[in-house]
Chains A and B, each alone.
Chain A
């Protein structure tokens, strides 16, 4: 047997010191001219400006990004350098689909525990306006053949092999939103949940309307999170929120993924959005040493897996694990931020948390207990604000802490479903 010395070192505790984000703008609108690098640079640079910290103190930058632009591989490094972080400090990009922004944060914690740094800039960035279009494999082969041809006639001959279909682009965004294992796109997985858990179109639309109205009401709180993007037009607010949202308007929309009997519409799904979020996190000791006043602490977190065709249920297991690790009960939390990938999906998760038979179908032995549904997404969610996939996880952290401070709350629980059949959750505590 190995005789190891008892581990006397205390596990470092991660605190969130400050946060800044770009406004979240519907794809193709106010921020479409900025790519994921520019958005990330803006958020990180604003974070550094707001905190006034010495960039030399940052040990590493970790950012989530789902659709990394091909011209900025390891986008986190590009962003870190352009935002003014020192060359000597490394940066890496993480990818856990929709939870990438939260993964960046939890990875920072893992690195702290491993003694690999004390101060991190974490977050996520996504420009869904700038998702690339691709050529199909046969078309690529023809292009390659043409570029290999030595002379003009060779090139001309190679060019003759092209067919009109070769020039039809493969849409990157569409590919990214389709699960390759179950071959269902994300909307179709939401339709599955809607069917299996009896979530009607009306329930979904009501939830979507609530998201818009909550976001409208929390406008002031949300604007505090934003570092305005200055250009010919000053972009200082999220532009997806519809203050005039109503059941009537939502009811008029056509189902998107199952046009015959479907219930999931563009109105009750998250929006396709551009945005980036940056958080400054540090070990509790480092924050104290630099005299920083942290906003909150990461208490526990968990990433779990589930059926890819029912990826929307991901939060159920993840919440169970994260709560178990923190020792909290579901109702201990003052704030819940459950990412609204689809209204049907959030409603299904809520059902699984409280209803015994649904809980069992989602893989729990028993429901996690009762809780006040009003605590969920009180500032609205991705249906109103949008879901820049790589960034959302970090925004949930920012918005949750922001709410705790505004309402003198103590505990927050955040969770996201993850394309490909995963869930991620974290427990946060205000400081």
Chain B
């Protein structure tokens, strides 16, 4: 069956096709992935339980089996109701099998989309109450199948996460999700959920109207039984849906402003959702199919999916060759921006933290900063009142030396001064246990120089969090040749437990991310010096997909900090970095960026005063090529020098650490795809 035929298939013909043996092959009986039990009340319990796997996913095989079960139920007169549930502890249905999709030909992907739509449509047409009992992750296709049910109920377990993350992978919900969701929760909530791809916990899902009830996992089945006897809920009339065209128009404009049209999946999703809200379901399904067919023609989706897997792997894979020990208590030295940020993220993940600094006043400021962070998270409903209290309770402070021999990990986050850090490490060595891991959060200083100051240097490691700690997903782990495998394994698993993505790099000036970023920033300054306006440089890179232009980034970091890092790198690689005096000049004049109100931009009360420079569009492309090339070049050098373990890590680090456009896959993938450098 060719692609064209497939996507243009007439909706009315769907049901006929579904029963056509040439397309739906009868799966072997009994089904491998499902159990079907019909109890004496006439409730058919379909339990999704893929063998030898901890997850349930939709692929051709599971869809066909599920379809077959539906067929059995259709013909079984005993069956009065259907309940769909999962036997997995932490997963309901994780969605479509993306790994398989990534490697499929486009034709096959379109076929799979069609199959899913047909099967879920069959479910929706079943003339009986249908209940989805959700416990565990319910994402993408896993949620779309529940939208074809009458009731969705969820367990209050932590693992219950509901959402439609497809747009984050460059596609959109195409198994009826884009069509059915807006009819259930209204077009605005549907757009919010689909375009952001966010995952909601059970209570948030109930607030958003995605599920009707939230109960303890042990009570899910009982609730399902009682719902069977209740009247089926009819879809509420959504007044806002009458204005879907206007809402869609506004949402699309906002998305375009934000993404500059670089993420077509988002704008496409807005189009489909707003058009599919009225009329026949089949019309919506057709729109979904067409949109996906178009999206997968580009390479963006493939790159986003690759990146997703790289990140999943980095988030989960343990380090081989070492034993990871659990960490329950940690000390953070320094209560500044980084120290407080690190203490906050540790405490919010259940680790008891001792935060130290030289005075009570600096500790108090650090605590106030942490209170600000948790307060902010509370206002945005990311945490409960109890979680706020527990996080704060886990943080204790001291400005006098106390015994630390019970702490498994000490993270030093003091001011960036080698002398000071050496003093701290020497003092620490006397107070901690012999095997306490000593980590430093330096962003530029040499970890091996620090390691020399303590006995047992095999326990010294770099743990480079990025600012702001609670927002930045990347942590660079800097290893030395002498770092023990157990220490590395422990730290990697620790970072993973914090919900951050670890990337292991070698100790070298600037480590990985800053090393790649600095030449790019310096070149941007040089370009500016040569007469190109700040706005043009920033616009060019924004169009490339960077979340922030280089000049603005410099202002945010602080020009003094940037100049310092640049100098460190320039002295380490003397012949390579384009040198510029412009930064030093500005620093000497006291223009340090946003913090002083004057950098490359001017600020008043922390807000930028919009400059009135003209924008020179034709120039953008050459600026882009120039700067993007620099990033990729430096990334390739890091790869060759073995700073990172592999190209994937470099791509991942740049995307997560600097916001390098994910749809380009990362600097090395970009170099390979565009051929700008010999790969």
Chain A residues within 8 Å of B, Cβ to Cβ: 41, 45-46, 48-54, 82-84, 228, 230-234, 236
Residue from A50, A51, A230 having most chain B Cβ neighbours under 10 A: A230
Contacts of B396 in A (CB 8 A): 45-46, 48-49
Query: Chain B residues with Cβ under 8 A from A48's Cβ?
Result: 396
Residue of A nearest to B393 (CB): A82
Q: Which positions 369-398 of chain B face chain A at CB distance < 8 Å? A: 389, 393-394, 396-398
Nearest-CB residue, chain A, relative to B354: A49
**B618 proximal to A (CB < 8 A):** no
Kindly state whether residue B405 has any CB partner on chain A within 8 Å: yes
Looking at the assembled complex, report how far the CB atom of B317 sits from the nearest CB atom of chain A, in whole angstroms. Answer: 32
CB-based contact A54/B397 at 8 Å: no
Bound form: Cα–Cα A236–B393 in Å:
19
Contact partners of B361 in chain A: CB under 8 A: 234
Instruction: Tell me if B367 counts as interface (CB < 8 A to partner A).
Output: yes
7 A-B pairs besides A45-B396, A230-B364, A234-B361 with CB distance below 8 A are A46-B396, A49-B397, A51-B403, A83-B393, A230-B363, A230-B367, A236-B360
- A-side contacts of B352, CB under 8 Å: 84
The distance in angstroms between the C-alpha atoms of A84 and B329, with both chains bound, is 11
Chain A residues near B394 (CB-CB < 8 A): 84
C-alpha spacing A136/B405, complex, angstroms = 54
- Which of A54, A83, A228 lies in contact with B406, CB distance below 8 A? A54
Give the residue name and chain of the A residue nearest to B390 (CB). A82
- A49 close to B364 (CB less than 8 A): no
Pick 11 A–B contacts, CB within 8 A, sort by A.
A48-B396, A49-B354, A49-B398, A51-B402, A52-B402, A84-B394, A230-B363, A230-B397, A232-B368, A233-B364, A234-B360
Residues of A near B398 (CB, < 8 A) are: 49-50
Q: Please, which residues of chain A bring their CB within 8 A of the CB of B428?
A: none
B224 on the interface (CB 8 Å rule)? no
Leading 6 A-B pairs by shortest Cβ distance = A52-B403, A230-B364, A234-B360, A49-B396, A82-B393, A45-B396
Residue from B364, B389, B404, B405 in contact with A234 in the complex, judged by beta carbons closer than 8 Å: B364
Shortest Cβ gap from A229 to chain B (Å): 9
Q: Which of B368, B393, B406 touches A53 (beta carbons < 8 Å)?
A: B406
* C-alpha gap A233/B360 in the complex (Å): 10
The count of chain B contact residues (Cβ–Cβ below 8 Å) is 19
Q: How far is the CA of A52 from the CA of B403 in the complex (A)?
A: 5
Tell me what chain A mostly uses at the interface: helix, strand, loop, or mixed. loop
Chain A residues with CB under 8 Å of B354's CB are 49
Residue of B nearest to A228 (CB): B360
Contacts of B393 in A (CB 8 A): 41, 45, 82-84
CA distance A146 to B367 in the complex (A): 45
Q: Chain B residues near A50: list those with CB within 8 A.
A: 398, 402
Which residue in chain B gives the minimum CB-CB distance to A53?
B406
CB distance from B175 to the nearest CB of A (A): 44
Contact partner, B364, options A41, A45, A83, A232, Cβ 8 Å: A232
Inter-chain contacts of B404 with A (CB < 8 A): 52
Residue in chain B with minimal CB distance to A41:
B393
Min distance, Cβ B237 to any Cβ of chain A, angstroms:
31
Partner of A231 from the list B364, B402, B406 (CB cut-off 8 Å) is B364
Q: How near does chain B come to A138, taking the closest CB pair, in angstroms?
A: 35
> B191 to nearest A CB, angstroms?
41
Which residue of chain A lies nearest to B389 when distances are taken between CB atoms in the complex?
A82
Closest to A82 in B: B393
Q: Main SS of the interface on chain B? A: mixed
Q: How far is the CA of A54 from the CA of B328 in the complex (A)?
A: 11
Question: In the bound complex, what is the Cα–Cα distance between A236 and B360 (angstroms)?
Answer: 9
Q: Given the complex of chains A and B, what is the CA–CA distance between A264 and B110 in angstroms?
A: 91
Contacts of B402 in A (CB 8 A): 49-52
- Chain B positions near chain A (C-beta within 8 angstroms): 352, 354, 360-361, 363-364, 367-368, 389, 393-394, 396-398, 402-406
Q: Is the pair A230, B360 in contact by a Cβ cutoff of 8 Å?
A: yes
Give, as a whole number of angstroms, the nearest-CB distance from A40 to chain B. Answer: 12
Q: In the complex, A83→B352 CA distance in Å? A: 10
Give chain A residues whose Cβ lies under 8 Å from the Cβ of B403.
51-52
Contacts of A51 in B (CB 8 A): 402-403
CB nearest to A54 among chain B residues: B406
Nearest CB of chain B from residue A121's CB, rounded to whole Å: 15
Contact A52 B406 (CB under 8 A): yes
Nearest-neighbour CB distance to chain A for B414, whole angstroms, equals 19
Across the interface, do B405 and A52 meet the contact criterion of CB distance under 8 Å? yes
Residues of B within 8 A of A41 (CB): 393
| Most A CB within 10 A of own CB, among B361, B367, B402 | B402
Q: In the docked arrangement, what's the CA distance between A46 and B399, Å?
A: 12
- Distance A228 CA – B362 CA, assembled complex (angstroms): 13
Task: Give A230's nearest chain B residue, CB to CB.
Answer: B364
A271 to B360, CA, bound (A): 27
CA A53 to CA B354, docked complex, whole Å: 13
Residue numbers in B under 8 Å from A231 (CB-CB): 364, 367-368
Residues on B with C-beta less than 8 A from A45 are 393, 396
CB distance from B136 to the nearest CB of A (A): 26
Bound Cα distance from A230 to B369, whole angstroms: 12
> How far does the Cβ of B197 sit from chain A's closest Cβ, in whole Å?
37
Cα A230 to Cα B398 with chains together (Å)? 10
Task: Please measure, in the bound complex, the distance between the C-alpha atom of A327 and the C-alpha atom of B128, giving whole angstroms.
Answer: 87
> Closest B-chain residue to A233, C-beta based?
B364
A residues less than 8 Å from B389 (CB atoms): 82
A25 to chain B, nearest CB (A): 16
Q: How far is the CB of B367 from chain A (nearest CB, A)?
A: 5
Task: For the complex formed, measure the closest distance between the CB of A413 and the CB atoms of chain B, giving whole angstroms.
Answer: 31
Chain B residues whose CB sits within 8 angstroms of the CB of A52 once the complex forms:
402-406
Best-buried of B393, B404, B405 by chain A (most CB within 10 Å): B393
CA gap between A236 and B361 in the complex, in Å: 11
Residues of the A chain whose Cβ atoms lie less than 8 Å from the Cβ of B367: 230-231
Q: B234 to chain A: closest CB distance in Å?
A: 31
CA distance A181 to B21 in the complex (A): 93
How far apart sit A48 and B352, CA to CA, in the bound complex (Å)?
12
Residues on the B chain within 8 Å of A230, using CB? 360, 363-364, 367, 397
Q: Closest A-chain residue to B352, C-beta based?
A: A84
Distance of A236 Cα from B398 Cα, bound (Å): 12
Task: Provide the residues of chain B in CB contact with A236, threshold 8 Å.
Answer: 360
Q: How many angstroms from the CA of A52 to the CA of B404 in the assembled complex?
A: 6
Q: How near does chain A come to B589, taking the closest CB pair, in angstroms?
A: 35
**Residue in chain B with minimal CB distance to A227:** B398
Whole-angstrom CA separation of A52 from B361 in the bound complex: 22
Q: Measured between alpha carbons, how far is A425 from B361 in the docked complex, in Å?
A: 39
Chain B: CB-nearest residue to A49: B396
Residues of A within 8 A of B363 (CB): 230
Q: Looking at the assembled complex, report how far the CB atom of A293 sits from the nearest CB atom of chain B, in whole angstroms.
A: 12
Give the distance to chain A from B386, nearest Cβ to Cβ, in Å: 11
In the complex, A45 Cα to B395 Cα: how many Å?
Answer: 9
Residues of A within 8 A of B397 (CB): 49, 230
Question: Which of A41, A52, A53, A228: most chain B CB closer than 10 A?
Answer: A52
Q: Give the docked Cα–Cα distance between A48 and B405 (Å).
A: 13
Inter-chain contacts of B405 with A (CB < 8 A):
52
- Determine the residue in chain B with the shortest Cβ distance to A236: B360
Chain B residues contacting A228 (CB-CB under 8 Å) are 360
User: In the complex the two chains form, what is the Cα distance from A82 to B354 in whole Å?
Assistant: 15
Q: Which of A46, A49, A51, A84 has the most CB of B within 10 A?
A: A49
In the complex formed, the residue of B with least CB distance to A56 is B406
> What distance in Å separates the Cβ of B610 from its nearest Cβ neighbour in chain A?
36
Complex Cα gap A46–B398 (Å):
8
B406 partner residues in chain A, CB cutoff 8 A:
52-54
CA distance A53 to B402 in the complex (A): 10
Report Cα–Cα, A82/B368, bound state, in Å. Answer: 19
Closest chain A CB from B99 CB (angstroms): 41
Report the separation of the CA atoms of residues A49 and B394 in the bound assembly, to the nearest whole angstrom.
Answer: 11
Nearest Cβ in chain A — how far from B489, in angstroms? 24
Q: Which residue on chain B has the smallest CB distance to residue A51? A: B403
Task: Write the chain A residue with the least CB distance to B394.
Answer: A84
Q: Which residues of B contact A46 (CB under 8 A)?
A: 396
Nearest-neighbour CB distance to chain A for B543, whole angstroms, equals 45
B387 CB to nearest A CB, Å:
13
Which residues on A sit within 8 Å (CB–CB) of B364? Answer: 230-234
| B-side contacts of A54, CB under 8 Å | 406
